[in-house]
Amino acid sequence: MTLYRPQYTRDGKRTKARVWHVRANVGGRKRQKSTGCRDKRAAEEKARAIVRRWERRAAGMRDPFEDAQALPLAGHVADFESVLRARGVSEAHVADRMTHLRAFVAEKAPRRLGDLEPASASEWLSSIKGPKLGARAVNKRYQALRQFGRWLVKSRRLTHDPFETLKPLNEDTDRRRVRRALSAGELAQLLDAAARRPLEFAQKQRVTKGVSAAEEIRLRALGRARALLYAMAAGTGLRRNELRQLRWCDVDTTGLWVRVCAASAKSKREQRVPLRQDLAEALDAFRPGDAAATDPIVPSRFYPTSRTFQADLEAAKIQLKDEEGRVVDFHALRVTFVSSLARAGVHPRTAQALARHANVETTMKHYTDLRLLDLHGAAEAVVSGGGVLAPMLAPAPAATPRRGALPRVTSEGAKAAEGTRQTPRNSRSEASNRPMLVGSGGRT
């Protein structure tokens, strides 16, 4: 091993570089590399580590952690994105993870894996929280960092997770978007408005020209499709993307089942959802005669956007946001479905299975609107139904004195007894002046 500083010519003068380099003959091959150190002692230690790595590689003993350390961080990020796509996750999930991860890399500018530190990540998460980003949005960034850190460990690129010590924020203390469920009356108004609004809107816009017969048929079909879509969302709890990809072959109107394909399901597993009898009849009436089995139930040209859904809410005279700041969007129809199950007295475990949630806490905490439940009636039923509170709230029976027990003395009786016990000061002198009565055992 030779440690040297290479020479170069600048402006006709011969000079030496400031950084030390190492040169060695390993496995019959000459190798040289810069140590990156200006201090000679530090360069010697670095050179020995470099030569040791060369020798291990020449002997076929490659260290995956050393190879990962030499690769720029951008290469690891690109590999992480490739792995996510290979797993078959949704494109929205990949875009969400990579957007947040690249935002962290752009802000803190780490170049190697060794530059990933929990302190810098924690500082970045704290800096982005503000009026525009709440706890839920910050936790999405946190999840992207944690997933990337765990992948680095599993792929044998790092010996430890650099983001393991990070903690998520409490979303309950900073909820920016809280959905509410629709009541039965509001849901009926929404379905009616969605069915009527396309034709009524066109008639208002074309007062002079009017609406042709063919256009009227198309607009009525459009309104029926939207109303059916909203009814399916509120009656089955299917998500927006699941409804978008639902085909006629996925619906069994005879056996009353709906199949959710693994490609559209959030869990990426094929699932089955019960179908109501009235929805099955509505689907049979809506299906065109020439519809193929693989055709979508709601064509893409009929599928409503977020703006269209808001317009239907306004036509139904339903507020987009109530006085408490709770909002109504398309996903609120799923909240309506789960809340209706709770209102009907369905067991929480059954509601969890119908909502297809991984745990019952999500079903009860985030998808059950307590405003639709009869909380006062439930509280009254505890007492009127002879529950645990009935013995405590019932009037106490009158106590029967025991034999030989002293009588109970009230406050008025105590005062009266106290008055009778008072003795005048000259009571002894008066007693001595009174004559003694003759009786048995007495003296005269």
> Which residues does residue 247 pair with via DSSP β-bridges, in sequence order?
296
Distance between alpha carbon 262 and the CA centroid of its chain, in Å? Answer: 21
Residue 437 resides in a domain: no
Asked whether residue 382 is domain-assigned, the answer is: no
Q: Give the pLDDT score at 192.
A: 96
For residue 106, what pLDDT is reported? 94
Residue 439 in this model has a pLDDT that exceeds 50 = no
Choose the weakest-confidence range: 62-71, 141-150, 280-289, 338-347: 62-71
Distance CA 203, CA 198 (A): 9
DSSP line for 100-153: HHHHHHHHH---SGGG--HHHHHHHHHHH-SSSS-HHHHHHHHHHHHHHHHHHH
Same domain for 82 and 35?
A: no
Q: How far apart are CA 342 and CA 43, in angstroms?
A: 70
pLDDT, tens digit (0-9, with 9 covering 90-100), for 107-144: 999 998 989 999 999 999 999 988 888 899 999 999 99
Beta bridge partners of 392: none
Of 372, 390, 410, at which residue does a domain stop?
A: 372
Predicted local distance difference test score (pLDDT) of residue 173: 83
pLDDT score at 411: 53
If asked whether residues 149 and 226 sit together in one domain, one would say no
Q: Is residue 383 part of a domain?
A: no
Question: Does a structural domain hold residue 378?
Answer: no
Binning pLDDT at 50, 70 and 90, where does residue 399 land? low
Q: Which residues have a Cβ under 8 Å from the Cβ of 27 and sit 6 or more positions away?
A: 54, 55, 58
Confidence of residue 266 (pLDDT cuts 50, 70, 90): confident
Local structure of 13: helix, strand or coil: strand
**What range does the domain containing 85 cover?**
75-173
Partners of 39 in the beta sheet? none
> Is the domain of 290 the same as that of 314?
yes
Please compute the mean of the pLDDT values over residues 323-341 and round it to a whole number: 93
Q: How many residues does the chain have?
A: 444
Tokens of 43: 């360069």
Q: Yes or no: say if 195 and 231 are a contact pair by the CB < 8 Å rule.
A: no
Q: What is the mean pLDDT of the chain?
A: 84
From residue 274, how far is each of 219, 286, 326, 355, 400 by CA, in Å?
30, 19, 29, 11, 62
Phi/psi for 211 (5° steps) reads: -115, 130
- Which of 154, 173, 192 terminates a domain? The answer is 173
Q: How confident is the model at residue 183 (pLDDT cuts 50, 70, 90)?
A: very high
Are 227 and 324 members of one domain?
Answer: yes
CATH of the domain at 144: 1.10.150.130
Say whether 396 sits in a helix, a strand or coil. Answer: coil
In a domain, 443, yes or no: no
Asked whether residue 22 falls in the same domain as residue 130, the answer is no
Mean pLDDT value of segment 138-151: 95
Last residue of a domain, which of 324, 344, 372? 372
Q: Which of 53, 54, 74 is nearest to 116 (CA)?
A: 74
- Check if the beta carbon of residue 105 is closer than 8 Å to that of residue 78: no
pLDDT at 100: 96
159 shares a domain with 284 = no
105 and 221 both lie in a single domain: no
Based on the fold, state whether residues 155 and 256 are members of the same structural domain.
no
Residue 384: inside a domain: no
What is the pLDDT averaged over residues 187-213? 91
Q: How confident is the model at residue 262 (pLDDT cuts 50, 70, 90)?
A: confident
List Cα–Cα distances, 13 to 7, 8, 9, 16, 336, in angstroms.
10, 8, 5, 10, 82
- Specify the residue for token string 């040297």: 4
Segment 41-56 shows an average pLDDT of: 85
Per-residue pLDDT reduced to its tens digit, 1-11: 888 888 888 77
Query: In this model, does residue 196 exceed pLDDT 80?
Result: yes
Domain count, the chain: 3
Residue predicted with more confidence, 387 or 329: 329
* pLDDT of 407: 55
For the chain, the farthest-separated pair of C-alpha atoms sits apart, in whole angstroms, at 155
* CB atoms inside a 10 Å sphere around CB 432: 7
Query: Do residues 269 and 262 make contact, with C-beta atoms less than 8 angstroms apart?
Result: yes
Domain identity same for 28 and 104: no
Backbone angles phi, psi at 198, to 5 degrees: -55, -45
pLDDT, position 434:
46
pLDDT score, position 442: 43
**28 shares its domain with 164:** no
Query: Could you tell me the strand order of the sheet in which 251-252 lies?
Result: 251-252, 257-260, 271-274
Percent of the chain with pLDDT over 70: 84
The confidence band for 381, taking pLDDT boundaries of 50, 70 and 90, is low
Please give the radius of gyration of the chain, using alpha carbons only, rounded to the nearest integer.
41
Task: Provide the pLDDT confidence category of residue 437 given band limits of 50, 70 and 90.
Answer: very low
Tell me, yes or no, whether 265 and 308 share the same domain: yes
Clarify whether residues 147 and 189 are in a common domain.
Answer: no
